[in-house]
Amino acid sequence: MAVNNPNIILILADDLGFSDLGCFGGEINTPNLDHLATDGLRLTQVYNSARCCPSRASLLSGLYPHQAGVGEMTEDRETPGYRGYLKDQCVTLAEVLREGDYHTYLSGKWHVGKIGPIERGFDDFYGILGGFTSFWDKKEYIRLPEGRPERSYKEGEFYATDAITDHALDFLEESRKDEHPYFLYLSYNAPHFPLQAPKEEIAKYEKVYEKGWDKIREERLERMKELQIVPESTLLTPRSEYWNRDRDIYGTNPPWDSIDPDRQKDLVKRMAIYAAMIDRMDQNIGRVIENLRVNGELDNTLILFCSDNGACAEWDPWGFDDWITTSNFLHRKEDLEKMGGPDTYHSYGSGWANACSTPLRLYKHYGHEGGISTPFIAHWPDKVKRKGEIDHRPGHFIDFMATFVDISGISYPKTYKGQNILPMEGESLMPILAGENTPQRILCFEHEQHCGIRQGEWKLSKVREKDWELYNIKNDRTEMHNLKDEYPVLADEMKKTWEEWAERTNVYPRKLTKIPR
C-alpha cells in the first residue's frame, strides 16, 4: 500500500436536522463545520436510512441496512433483515481498511448490536455501545479493548462530547508512531436526547428561540435560498404531522402564537439546549481540525460530515422528560434554570424537529425527505478542489464503502473469515466530489414500514398507514405536490421496483404484515 494513502475521518452527528448548521441555513453557531464547507464541498441530497441503527449499519457495511441485519433496531426478530446486529455476510469499513494497513479508530457511538466494534475491525474504541445515555455520567462511557489508556476526569469536568474528542485525539496521536494512515470514525451522540449541555453554551441561545418555530422556519428557508442549498422557488411545507410512539395519537404541530406563554418558555429552553449541544460539537470538531493542521495532515485527510437521520420528533410538540413513559413535564420558573443539567432528561418534540428539518417534510423514522436527508460536507484539499461549491446530485450512506475502497486502492473482499460477503451496493462518491458526470441512480428506503424510492428526479414516498405518493424532487423537494394520479404508470413501475428491492434486500420476510397497499 502506498505510504501517501489518505487519512479518513468520518464524522457522524446524531439526530441533527437538515438545516441546523450555519452552512445549511441554520442560526446555530457552527464556524468550524462552516469552514469545512466553504473550503470543501456541500452535497444537499445525500441520504441516510432514517434512524440511528439502520443508518449506522449502512454507513459501516456499504449495504442496505436489512442486508447487514439491522433493518430496525438492536432487537433480534429472528428474520434475516432484523437480527439487530451486523451479520457475518457483511464487512465493515474498519475491517476492509485494516486489511490495507490502516489504523482504525471509533470514538463515540456504536449502536449496531451485540457484536462490538473491536470484533468488527476497530483497533480502539471509546464511547457508548448503545443508543443514548447521559452526557454527564462518565460511568456510561467505556474504553475497548479493556486495559488500554483512558482519560481521567475530575468531578464535574466530564461532558461526553468533549471526552469523545479527547479520546479521538489520543487515537490520532497513537497512530503517528508509524507511517500507516488512519481511519477515524468520530461518531458523536450529540444532539440526541437527553438534551444536556453546559450552562454557558445554553445561555447563547435562550433569546434566539423566543421568536418560536414558525419564525425560525421562515428565516431558515430564506437563508437556505441565499446559500443555494434549495432553489429560490422552494416553498415552506405546512406545519408537519406527528404521531405518538404507539401511533394511536395523531396531530399537527400548532402555530407558535397559539401556545401558552409558560409552555413557550419550556420549549424555548429545550431548543436552546439542543442548539448548545450542536455548538459544543462544532467546537470539538474544530479541535480535531486544528490537530490535523498542526501535524501537517489536513491536506491529505478526507473529512466527511453527515447526520444519521432527520430531526427527532419523538413524540409530540412538547417533547418528553421520561423515555420509558414518554411523559412530558412543564418546567416553570426556577425549574427552567435546571434544564440541561446532570439531573435532567429532555427531548424537544415535533414542533422544533419540524423547524430543524426546514423546509423538508417529516423527520426521523420516515422515508420522506425530512427523515432521510443529511447535511453533507466533504473536505480534502489534495483532491476535492470544488471549494465552496454545492452539488445537488443524490448519494447514500451505502456509498462510503465504495468511496473508501476507491481512494485507498484496497480490494473489497468476496470472502472474509471464511464467510461469503455480499457485494457492495453503493458507488464511489469521488466522481461527484471531482465534479464529473454521473449516471442516474435508483435508491430505496424502508424503516418501520415507512418507505421511499428515488429514481432520477422522481421520488415515491409512503407513510406506514397511508398510500404511496409520487413527487418530482427536481421541482418539488418538499414533497408537497403528489403527482401519482397524473403519472399512474410511473408510480406503479417505481412501486414494483421498490418491491423487488425489498424482496432482494431482506425487507421481507418480517414478523409484521406486509405494507398495506
Enumerate the active-site residues.
Answer: 52, 111
- C-beta of residue 55 within 8 angstroms of C-beta of residue 66: no
- For residue 329, the Cα-to-chain-centroid distance in whole angstroms is 28
Element (H, E) at 266: helix 261-294
Element (H, E) at 445: strand 442-447
Alpha-carbon distance of 119 to 336, in angstroms, equals 43
DSSP of 460-490, one letter per residue?
EEE-TTS--EEEETTT-TT--S--TTTSHHH
- C-beta of residue 367 within 8 angstroms of C-beta of residue 445: yes
Alpha-carbon distance of 232 to 217, in angstroms, equals 15
Alpha-carbon distance of 220 to 206, in angstroms, equals 18
- C-beta of residue 380 within 8 angstroms of C-beta of residue 242: no
Residue 341, number of CB atoms within 10 A of its CB: 14
- C-beta of residue 68 within 8 angstroms of C-beta of residue 87: yes
Q: Which residue type, as a one-letter code, is found at position 402?
A: A
Q: What angle (nearest 5°) sits at the alpha carbon of residue 378, between those of residues 376 and 382?
A: 175
Close Cβ partners of 344 (under 8 Å, ≥ 6 residues apart): 194, 196, 321, 338
Alpha-carbon distance of 496 to 249, in angstroms, equals 31
Cell numbers for 467: 398510500
Alpha-carbon distance of 17 to 220, in angstroms, equals 12
Q: Is 61 helix (H, G, I), strand (E, B) or coil?
A: helix
Close Cβ partners of 221 (under 8 Å, ≥ 6 residues apart): 25, 230, 234, 236, 358, 359
- C-beta of residue 383 within 8 angstroms of C-beta of residue 328: no
Close Cβ partners of 499 (under 8 Å, ≥ 6 residues apart): none
Closest CA to 458 of 369, 350, 347, 325: 369
Cell numbers for 119: 470484533
Q: Which CA distances in Å does 120 have to 21, 115, 123, 214?
A: 32, 7, 9, 44
Closest CA to 506 of 111, 96, 93, 57: 57
